């Protein structure tokens, strides 16, 4: 019988030791001079302030995330790498442009209690599960490139209370594109193609809605799969509907195939082509070559960004030896700037030089951003997290040579924006 007593004793001891884990964590906390209902980050003197990113940095769309990360790095440089006397440390995770990647990246970051704020994600599908995970840990996140409308929708729910973005809402981009086609090109028949990704589908639908509202007709709405290479059948089908323009707001690979093959399909000789910010990338010129000359793209309006943007470009050239890789670098710069400003506003120091940042206070400060002069424009955050000053413009590609990538000025060349009226 003694063999039974020992295990029972062991178990009881174990239970007593670990029972505290069971007790619900008391809502934090008062740490130092700061009281905050969600939590407080204490940064010891001399220790770095940790900002995290969760962006897509590997894979065929990696340029999107790397481009944003560079924007953040330049923002850190502009502050000489220090904030409130602490060095700024940037860490991050690859978020893989998908729900699982977003979940994993967000979970990994949420576990690190020293992260003050986060910048990300790149793809909207990551933000849907990821932002609530970060907010549960009290980490607010500002996205430089999520554009899906539902992320800042009034009905999004309290789990998104910590989510903001400096990128435009796709409803705006689709509307501008449709407006351009309708009022400038004066076309009345258009077709859309999406690739099964939430981003592309959302944007194509936004375009279609506004186009129809302005009196145009959508003659065909088609879809391809990511990884498809032969677009000729779908283009032939669209050709039968005789559109004047095809809007395909998808990513580099498939857009490249469509652009090239549209030139080879009978019936589409006169049809104009238009894509969106997903292909605002020198790789697209590699993929599509000369077939891309003359096609339109909707994208953030770099020309309207203000003089700060030119300065940014010079710094970018000096630090990385070339032009930016994608679209959202300036938005990422602004996201970082907004975060730094908010931290400065709410942080408190104690006598020893340690800094304390309350998480809810930081979140409130972020949402209270008004009239902030960023390089993408004047940022004012509404209560649902839309901070952007959305300026979308339409560009035209003038050369198929990837070495002649000169976004905004020459290739692609900006030809119209709604504000230009």
Partner 1 sequence: MRRSFWQRFFSPITLFLWAFRIVVILAILVGSFRTLTAGKYAGDQWIDVIVFGLSQGSIYALIALGYTMVYGILRMINFAHGEIFMSGAYTAYFVAAAFLSSGFLNRNPVVSLLVVIAVAMATSTAIALLVERIAYRPLRRAPRLVPLISAIGASFFLQYTFRGFFGAGFQAYPDWNVLKGEVVLAGIGVLRTQAVAIVGALFLMTVLYLFVMRTKTGTAMRAVSEDMEVAAMMGIDVDRIIVITFGVGAAAAGAAGVLYALVFRQVWFFMGFVPGIKAFTAAVLGGIGNIPGAMVGGIFLGLIESAGPILFLDGLGIPSPNQLKDVIAFVMLVMVLIFRPTGILGERLATKKA
Partner 2 sequence: MITRRPRWTSYLGIGAVTGGVAVFLALVGMVETFSRRQIIVGVISLGHALLLLTGLASGYAAGRRAGRPAAALGGGVLAGAATGVVVAAFVVLGTSVDFRHMFVASSPGLYDILTFARGRAGLPLVVLAWTLVSVVGAGLALLPATIRRPAFAGAVTVIFLGLFQELLQLTLQEGTVQTLLRGFLFTGDGLLPRGALTGFAVAAVGSIASWRWGATVRGRARSMPPRSRRISAYTALLLAVIILFYLPRIVGEFPSQVLVFVGLFTLMGLGLNLEVGFAGLLDLGFVAFFAIGAYTVALLTTPEKYAIAQFSFWLAVPVALVVSLVAGVFFGLPILGIRGDYLAIATLGFGEIMRLLVLSDFLKPWLGGSRGIINLPKPIIFGYEFKEFGQLFWITIVASAFIAFVAARLRDSRLGRSWMAIREDEDVAEAMGINTVTSKLLAYGIGGAFAGMGGAIFAVMIGSVFPHSFNLLVSINTLALIIVGGMGSLPGVIVGSLFLVGLPELLREFAEFRYLVYGAVLILMMIVRPEGLWPEAARARELHAEEAPAPAAEEALAAVGSDGEA
Within its chain, how far is the Cα of 235 from the centroid?
30
Q: Contact, 392 vs 325, CB < 8 A?
A: no
| Helices 307-320 and 62-78: angle between axes, nearest 10 degrees | 100
Q: Is 227 in the site for partner 1 (CB under 8 A)?
A: yes
Cβ burial, residue 8 (10 Å; 0-12/13-18/19+): exposed
Q: Which of 167, 168, 163 minimizes the C-alpha distance to 367?
A: 163
Quick one: which of 233, 294, 322, 353 contacts partner 1 (CB under 8 A)?
A: 233
Q: Is 225 in the site for partner 1 (CB under 8 A)?
A: yes
Quick one: which of 39, 71, 132, 408 contacts partner 2 (CB under 8 A)?
A: 132
Spatial distance between the Cα atoms of 414 and 407, rounded to a whole number of angstroms: 9
On the question of a cis peptide bond just before residue 388, with omega within 30 degrees of 0, the verdict is: no
Q: Is 93 in the site for partner 2 (CB under 8 A)?
A: yes
If the CB atoms of residues 17 and 266 are measured against partner 2, the closer one turns out to be 17
How far apart are CB 285 and partner 1 at their closest, in Å?
Answer: 9
Q: Which two tokens stand for residue 198?
A: 């939430």
Helix, strand, coil percentages (3-state) for the chain, rounded to 5, are: 45, 20, 35
How far apart are CB 253 and partner 2 at their closest, in Å?
Answer: 15
Q: Residue 240: which of partner 2, partner 1, none does it interact with, CB under 5 to 8 A by kind? A: partner 1
Stretch that binds partner 1, among 95-103, 224-232, 313-321, 342-350 (CB under 8 A): 224-232
Q: Which two tokens stand for residue 355?
A: 């800094």
Q: Is 49 in the site for partner 2 (CB under 8 A)?
A: no
If the CB atoms of residues 61 and 152 are measured against partner 1, the closer one turns out to be 61
Q: Residue 72: which of partner 2, partner 1, none does it interact with, CB under 5 to 8 A by kind? A: none
Q: Is 9 in the site for partner 2 (CB under 8 A)?
A: no
DSSP class of residue 186 equals -
Q: Is 14 in the site for partner 2 (CB under 8 A)?
A: yes
Q: Residue 253: which of partner 2, partner 1, none does it interact with, CB under 5 to 8 A by kind? A: partner 1
Quick one: which of 12, 30, 82, 112 contacts partner 2 (CB under 8 A)?
A: 112
How far apart are CB 83 and partner 2 at their closest, in Å?
Answer: 19
Query: φ, ψ for residue 153 (rounded to 5)?
Result: -70, 145
If the CB atoms of residues 123 and 393 are measured against partner 1, the closer one turns out to be 123
Query: Can you name the residues that pair with 120 across neighbouring β-strands?
Result: 54
Query: φ, ψ for residue 339 (rounded to 5)?
Result: -65, -45
Q: Contact, 116 vs 362, CB < 8 A?
A: yes
Q: Is 314 in the site for partner 2 (CB under 8 A)?
A: no
Q: Is 232 in the site for partner 1 (CB under 8 A)?
A: yes
Spatial distance between the Cα atoms of 222 and 235, rounded to a whole number of angstroms: 9
How far apart are CB 322 and partner 1 at their closest, in Å?
Answer: 15
Q: Contact, 198 vs 148, CB < 8 A?
A: yes
Which residues within the stretch 191-220 sit at the binding site for partner 1 (CB under 8 A)?
196
Residue count at the site for partner 2 (CB under 8 A)? 40
If the CB atoms of residues 166 and 271 are measured against partner 1, the closer one turns out to be 271
**Rg of the chain over CA atoms, in angstroms?**
24
If the CB atoms of residues 77 and 264 are measured against partner 1, the closer one turns out to be 264
Binding pattern for the stretch 50-69 against partner 1, x by CB under 8 A and - elsewhere: --------xxx-x-------
Spatial distance between the Cα atoms of 274 and 404, rounded to a whole number of angstroms: 20
Quick one: which of 289, 303, 308, 418 contacts partner 1 (CB under 8 A)?
A: 289
Within its chain, how far is the Cα of 327 from the centroid?
10
- Residues of the shown chain interacting with partner 2 in the complex, contacts defined by CB under 8 A: 3-4, 7, 10-11, 14-15, 18, 21, 58, 93-94, 98-100, 103-104, 107-108, 110-113, 125, 128-129, 132, 136-137, 157, 194, 196-198, 200-202, 221, 223, 225
């Amino acid at each position: 019988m003694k063999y039974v007593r020992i295990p029972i004793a062991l178990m009881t001891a174990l239970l007593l030791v670990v029972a505290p884990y069971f007790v619900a964590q008391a809502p934090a906390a008062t740490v130092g001079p700061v009281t905050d209902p969600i939590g407080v980050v204490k940064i010891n003197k001399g220790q770095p302030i940790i900002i995290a990113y969760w962006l897509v940095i590997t894979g065929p769309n990696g340029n999107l995330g790397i481009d944003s990360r560079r924007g953040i790095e330049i923002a850190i440089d502009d502050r000489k790498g220090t904030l409130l006397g602490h060095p700024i440390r940037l860490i991050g995770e690859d978020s893989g442009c998908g729900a699982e990647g977003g979940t994993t990246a967000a979970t990994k970051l949420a576990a690190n209690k020293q992260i003050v704020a986060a910048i990300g994600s790149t793809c909207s599908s990551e933000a849907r599960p990821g932002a609530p995970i970060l907010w549960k840990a009290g980490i607010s996140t500002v996205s430089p490139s999520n554009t899906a409308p539902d992320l800042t929708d009034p009905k999004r729910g309290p789990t998104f209370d910590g989510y903001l973005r400096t990128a435009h809402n796709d409803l705006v981009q689709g509307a501008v594109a449709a407006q351009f086609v309708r009022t400038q090109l004066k076309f009345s028949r258009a077709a859309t193609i999406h690739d099964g990704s939430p981003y592309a589908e959302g944007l194509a639908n936004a375009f279609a809605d506004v186009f129809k509202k302005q009196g145009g007709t959508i003659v065909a709405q088609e879809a391809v799969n990511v990884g498809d290479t032969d677009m000729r059948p779908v283009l032939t089908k669209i050709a039968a509907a005789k559109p004047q323009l095809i809007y395909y707001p998808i990513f580099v690979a498939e857009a490249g195939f469509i652009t090239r093959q549209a030139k080879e399909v009978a019936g589409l000789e006169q049809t104009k082509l238009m894509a969106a910010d997903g292909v605002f990338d020198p790789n697209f010129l590699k993929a599509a070559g000369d077939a891309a000359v003359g096609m339109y793209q909707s994208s953030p309006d770099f020309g309207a960004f203000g003089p700060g943007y030119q300065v940014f470009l010079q710094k970018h050239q000096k630090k990385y030896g070339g032009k930016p890789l994608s679209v959202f670098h300036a938005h990422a710069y602004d996201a970082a700037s907004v975060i730094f400003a908010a931290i400065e506003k709410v942080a408190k120091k104690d006598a020893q030089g340690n800094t304390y940042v309350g998480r809810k206070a930081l979140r409130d400060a972020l949402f209270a951003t008004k009239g902030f002069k960023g390089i993408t424009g004047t940022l004012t955050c509404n209560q649902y997290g839309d901070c952007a000053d959305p300026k979308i413009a339409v560009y035209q590609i003038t050369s198929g040579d990837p070495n002649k990538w000169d976004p905004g000025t020459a290739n692609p060349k900006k030809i119209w924006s709604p504000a230009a009226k």
